[in-house]
Structure 1
Amino acid sequence: MENQMYPNCNQPIMQPEFRLARAYIPFQVMGMVYDCEKALKRGTLFPELYIPYKYEHKYK
């Protein structure tokens, strides 16, 4: 495959020995769950998946 993004680069984008990525997805055990209202507010039914985004002011 010709590298169309970088025509001056003579390396192909995909090497024949490259393999496709494989995802590892662990089995999730059904544990605690939020009640409906809390789940809607937090965007997830499962407490272990709730990771709030911490907003930081970088510029003052």
Structure 2
Amino acid sequence: MPDEAWVLYNESDGGLRTKVRDVVISASITEDKLAQYLDDINHDFTNKRNQSVFQIE
């Protein structure tokens, strides 16, 4: 995976973050378009608790 690619993490209820290794997002996706891009590719996986993509700090 290129160093320029975005890195995604899952966060558990306890705050533990694990790297998502099966999704590669090009660095050509700008930060202001990233959430929409992720919403678009993950819409089939939403549920009542997790309805949209959001940035964690």
**Which of the five TM-score ranges fits, normalised by the shorter chain?**
under 0.3
Normalized per residue, the structure richer in helix is 2
The structure, 1 or 2, with the larger RCO (C-alpha pairs under 8 Å, 6+ apart) is 2
TM-score relative to the length of structure 2: 0.22
Normalized per residue, the structure richer in strand is 2
TM-score relative to the length of structure 1: 0.21
Larger radius of gyration: 1
